């Protein structure tokens, strides 16, 4: 049974500004090492960071009624084929269906939360 849907959009420039202002402390407050090890610094670095940030926000919106989560409680990872998926720091009895996209200026994510059966 679907319990919630969340959507979030992030302007890439806001992520760049946050990283420029707070540096690694911003990244460390939002992401876990296992998320970051798959994001290569390069041409699309800020878009990928923004997309994962949007995904975390979308997950929070999809589940917030029943599960109070912080950004660091959510891990946005990729399957071998590149598809994003979500894991949680603590045992959360949910499946999250996730879609992420980004272009030059914006990143968007949609999350659908479903209780595991």
For the stretch 9-44, pLDDT in tens is 999 999 999 999 998 899 999 999 999 988 878 889
Which of these ranges, 37-41, 48-52, 85-89, has the smallest mean pLDDT? Answer: 37-41
Written as one string, the DSSP assignment of the chain is -EEEEEEEEEEHHHHHHHHHHHTHHHHHHH--HHHHTTS-SSTTHHHHHHHHHHHHHHHHHHHTTT----GGGEEEEE-TTS-EEEEESS---EEEEEEEEE-SSEEEEEEEEEE--
pLDDT grade for 98, boundaries at 50, 70 and 90: very high
Domains contained in the chain, CATH given:
2-115 (3.90.470.20)
């Amino acid at each position: 049974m679907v319990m919630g849907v969340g959507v979030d959009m992030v302007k890439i420039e806001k992520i760049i500004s946050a990283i420029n202002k707070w540096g690694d402390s911003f990244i460390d407050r939002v992401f876990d090492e296992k998320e970051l090890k798959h994001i290569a610094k390069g041409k699309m670095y800020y878009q990928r960071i923004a997309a994962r940030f949007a995904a975390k926000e979308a997950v929070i919106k999809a589940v917030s009624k029943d599960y109070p989560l912080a950004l660091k409680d959510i891990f946005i990872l990729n399957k071998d084929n590149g598809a994003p998926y979500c894991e949680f720091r603590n045992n959360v009895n949910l499946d999250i269906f996730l879609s992420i996209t980004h272009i030059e200026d914006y990143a968007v994510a949609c999350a659908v939360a479903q209780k595991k059966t």
